Amino acid sequence: MPILKNRLKEKRAGLGVNQQEMGRLCGVSRQTISLIERGDYSPSVTLALTIAQVCGCSIDEIFYLQEDSENGK
């Protein structure tokens, strides 16, 4: 089964904002941004769209699926 991965940390760094500020811009906590960046939390479609809008890019520039290596793929 594919795993949701992201480039949020790189996009956030490109904007020059920290996790706290990114959370404020997206209407969530710093902890939520941290969890998403670590891959420990999958955002809702609404939050993913908001993050992409804040970053000025499309969702697929931030979020992508990666095949699970445990399945031998």
Report pLDDT for 70. Answer: 63
- Tens of pLDDT, residue by residue over 24-66, are 999 999 999 999 999 999 999 999 999 999 999 999 999 999 9
Phi, psi dihedral angles at 8 (to 5 degrees): -60, -40
Is the CB of residue 17 less than 8 Å from the CB of residue 54?
no
Q: Looking at residue 71, what is its pLDDT?
A: 53
Strands (E), the chain: 3-6, 63-66
Q: Report CA dihedral (66, 68, 72, 73) to the nearest 10 degrees.
A: -20
- The rounded distance, in Å, linking the Cα atoms of 8 and 52 is 9
Q: What pTM, to 2 d.p., does this model score?
A: 0.89
